Structure formats: C-alpha cells, structure tokens
Structure 1
Amino acid sequence: MSTSTGKTNAIRMLDKEKVDYQLHAYDPQDGAIDGITVASKVGQPLEKVFKTLVAHHGNEGFVFVIPVAEELDLKKAARAAGVKNIEMLPVKDLLKWTGYIRGGCSPIGMKKLYPTFLDERAETKETILVSAGKIGLQLELAPQVLIQLVKAKFADVLKRGEGSR
C-alpha cells in the first residue's frame, strides 16, 4: 500500500493491523479545533467524541482518552496509573513526547507506547472518535480495538460535578 502524505502514524498503524475504522474530516481553517466544536463539525454526539490528554509523573508519561466535554480528575488519573501524583504535560512538550501536536494528538501511533487509560464509559459504546493524528481528521473505531492497539485499560478518571452526565 502506498503511503500518501495524508496518512498519519495512527492511520498507518491501523492499516498495518488491518483494523476497521472510518475517517471523519472537518475544516479547521476557522481555528476552532476544541473537542466540543470538532464533535459538532463531524456531526457526532459529544459523548462519542474523545480527546487525548497526556500527563506525566517525572519522566513517566501517561495517556488518558476521555469524552471531549469532560475533565480529567488528576487524583483519579494518578490512582489509575499507579503513581502518587500526576500533572498535565505542558503543551510545549507534547510534540517531543508523542510526535503529535495539540489538537491533533492521537492515542494511536505515538513515538512511544505510554500506559493508556480509556474512560470507562467508552466500554458501552459501539464506536468512538479520537484524533487521527492531524488537526482536521478524526478516527472512528470500536473502543475494544483501541484498547488492544495501545494496550489500554478502561478506568474511571473523570471529574464529577456540575458538567457530569
């Protein structure tokens, strides 16, 4: 299969593994690339579109894949990761650690396979959307496929409060 310039590491990995997925493109020209806007642009419900967050404990990286309208609870995230505390990776370090940029960070095909945690609510969904590794492109795939590909675990890592569903 030829590699076109449009293929990201995530897409190449899915193709190599012969995994079923669907691509959803959207126009990022207006600069609105936050998850809630992206869900609207690709015509999907908020609870089906997930964002990829990268956190760290010292030199250890951790990836959390959560619904776009939700917030990561750092205490729960640390517990899931088995560390005392955890903090978000500064945006300036994202490319160096993952090979991806903010707004185009996919949990699939990072430079290194970090321990990855998928919000437990994804377990009940037939498919979810995550970044395809490039601003303007989303991947739709079964959560179980994502779990297998990146050796992820389902976990309860969301803040509970006013915004919770």
Structure 2
Amino acid sequence: MAETKTNAMRILDRAKIKYEVHTYPHNEGEAVDGENVARLTGQDPIKVYKTLVTRGASNPSRNFYVFVIPVMKELDLKKAAKAVGEKSVEMIHVKEINGITGYIRGGCSPIGMKKQFPTVFYKDVSALDTVIFSGGKIGLQIEAAPSDIIGLIGAETEDICF
C-alpha cells in the first residue's frame, strides 16, 4: 500500500469504493508513458488507461473535458468533440495541467481534480472487470471496477479512439 494517500484515494475511501494500489519505479518528477507503466506494474496494457485533458472550442478558457483511454490507443479528437457536444477539442498544454487539474503530467487522475470536468471513458472499459489509472501521482496506479469509477464521477462511455 502507498505510504501516503492521494486525493484520489481519499475520495475513493470516502465513497467506500474498493480499489487496489499498484506502484512502479520512476525518477522523481519524471512521467512514464502508459505502455511502460503497464510493463512496470506487470499489468495487461488493455486494462491500463491514461487520463487526457482537453479544451473545447466553444469556450476555451472554461470548457475542459477529460478523456480516459487505453494506454495503447490514441484519442480521436473528432470523436471526442462529438462525445461532449463540441465543434472541436484540443489537448491542453503540458504547462497548464497543474493549474487546471491540480495534478502533474504523468500523475493526472480522473478522480480528484480541482473541479470535476465532464469525463468520457473509452467504450471498451465496460467489458473489463477492473480498470487501472493514475492514482494522482507518478509511480502510483489505482485499480478498481469501471462501473464504480464511472458512477462516482458521473462519466460516460463512448467510442473516442482511433
């Protein structure tokens, strides 16, 4: 178990959602790509998801959207925009991640951001018993039932990948 609880873990605890923590080695402050996270934690990459934050064209300073997709896939920005009712969406800049979410690159969790933004998981998550995603800091992953996470944050599932 992790020495200190992250905000994401505290939120899961408060909601009484069962989860498992996975840790992996990393250099301090250095993000590890999702494929290597799966390898380092000994997990099937199909279950390991990454959290991406975008801004919508309709109001770029206020409309942020979160997409949670398998580490082996790429976000299709056109499908993503359609899923959230935007004309288009674009990835936020790395330097903006902390200010918008409260997290850092490589440690961005769909749970416990400064504000709960509309969140969409890739549709295949529903077929999984558990999904693994960032626990809110580099080196820490959380594994939980997708239905629990989706219900907790009011997320949707859509076909948003290539």
TM-score using structure 2 length = 0.93
1:132 is matched with: 135
Q: What is the CA–CA distance in structure 2 between the aligned matches of 1:126 and 1:47, rounded to whole Å?
A: 11
1:28 is matched with: 26
CA deviations on 1:35-58 (whole Å, 9 max, x unpaired) are 000000000111100000000111
Q: What is the CA–CA distance in structure 2 between the aligned matches of 1:79 and 1:146, rounded to whole Å?
A: 22
- 2:80 is paired with a residue of what secondary structure? helix
- 2:135 is paired with a residue of what secondary structure? strand
Alpha-carbon distance, 1:7 to partner:
1.3
For structure 1, the 5+ residue unaligned runs are: 160-165
Alpha-carbon distance, 1:64 to partner:
0.2
- Indicate how the Cα distance of structure 1 residues 100 and 32 shifts in structure 2: closer, same or farther if over 3 A, else same: closer
- 2:136 is paired with a residue of what secondary structure? strand
Once the two structures are superposed, the pairs formed by residues 53-68 of structure 1 within 5 Å of their partners are 53-57=52-56, 58=60, 59-68=62-71
Count of equivalent residues: 156
Alpha-carbon distance, 1:29 to partner:
2.5
- What is the percentage of aligned positions where both structures have the same residue? 49
TM-score using structure 1 length = 0.91
2:97 is matched with: 94
Alpha-carbon distance, 1:5 to partner:
6.8
**Residue 151, structure 1, aligned to residue 154, structure 2:** yes
For structure 2, the 5+ residue unaligned runs are: none
Q: Find the partner of 1:79 among 78, 82, 94.
A: 82
CA RMSD for the aligned pairs?
1.4
- Indicate how the Cα distance of structure 1 residues 151 and 29 shifts in structure 2: closer, same or farther if over 3 A, else same: same
- 1:48 is paired with a residue of what secondary structure? coil
Q: What is the CA–CA distance in structure 2 between the aligned matches of 1:17 and 1:45, rounded to whole Å?
A: 27
> Which amino acid is 1:25 matched to?
T
Q: Which aligned runs of 4 or more in structure 1 are off by greater than 2 angstroms?
A: 29-32
- Indicate how the Cα distance of structure 1 residues 95 and 115 shifts in structure 2: closer, same or farther if over 3 A, else same: same
Alpha-carbon distance, 1:149 to partner:
1.2
